[in-house]
Amino acid sequence: MTGPSTDELLATADQSELRRLAEDLADLGLSETRVLGFYGWSHMAAMSWAERKVADRLPLAARLVVLFTTRLALPRELAAAALGDLFEPLIATCLLEDDGKIVRSRMRLVPVGRSLLVCDHDELDEAAVAAPDDSTYHLLGCLPDSFDSWLDVGTGNGAVILARNRESALGTDIDTRSLACARLGARMSGRTDDRFEEADGCQVPGRFDLVSFNAPLPRRLGDWSVPYRRSSDDHLLERFWSRVGERVAPGGQVLVHTWLDGNAVPAGLSGGEITIVHYTTDDQPHRFGMVRWRPDQPAAVHRKFQPLSRARPHLCRQNLD
């Protein structure tokens, strides 16, 4: 059953109502800690196996997590028992669909820290808004401690901005459905100062202390039979690097999670201090990592390999220094 568009969901409740429902869901147990305890990981990059769980065997506390993080349908009485007084308001806001016998969520709600990210369930749909994956967490971990102004290019559902949950930001994307998910997530997370606007790359007015970009892969890199592995034309990054300097404030920096062409400096990038940290080993088919560009610093190129581990599965800011 196809649910409403996220634009329709946005129109169903005011900001204060959405925020209240999100806070009440967190109190009931829809939290990053509960997701981690139930699944064994806190992000949603590989959760399709959860669809196979049997709803009536789930403990009460797990039903809430499964209801909103998967497309699993719960018998109406089990969903009502798990949600209590929130059941009817959630039906009224169209966050849940109810046919009188079973209940399922229309959108995936992903708790990250104190925020809720809004994603589609069917990630095999080419138009789907996917849940954050490891690249999101690499970029998030490498953000500087503080900054005054922030542009997040290709923001998608606003995952990096909402997960950071500190500085206000401008997120841009060309996909209107992703932007609708970002706005809904911001409302549910109580993020009133963030803006999400339709724009191509960094073609927006103003200058920013931080410009971030979780870059999609060039289409030439391989098998795109899995639609949710977002791809771009082969020259997107080169255009980005050639233009982004116009958006960087004095003393500012650019942070990009990206595919790397061996040890080469990304095409279109020159001048200033360039730091390249990759985390993939030589036996892997593609090299990925973080690139930091500080255009006002003396010209230099720093390259580094940072191995990952179970204890440290993602890059962090210290790896760039």
Q: Which domain holds residue 175?
A: 115-320
Q: Looking at 118-132, 136-150, 278-292, which range is the least confident one?
A: 118-132
Predicted structure pTM score: 0.89
Residue 1 lies in a domain: no
CATH number, position 235:
3.40.50.150
The domain total for the chain is 2
Q: Which of 91, 109, 127 is the last residue of a domain?
A: 109
Residue 91 lies in a domain: yes
> Residue 187 corresponds to which tokens in the numbers above?
């409302």
**Structure confidence by residue, pLDDT tens digits, 29-50:** 898 888 877 766 655 554 544 4
Same domain, 93 and 125: no
Same domain, 129 and 248: yes
Within 13 Å of residue 9, how many CA atoms lie on the same side as its CB?
28
**Structure confidence by residue, pLDDT tens digits, 206-235:** 999 999 999 987 766 655 444 444 555 667
Q: Which of 80, 109, 138 is the last residue of a domain?
A: 109
Q: Average pLDDT, stretch 103-109?
A: 91
Same domain, 56 and 146: no
Q: What is the pLDDT of residue 59?
A: 75
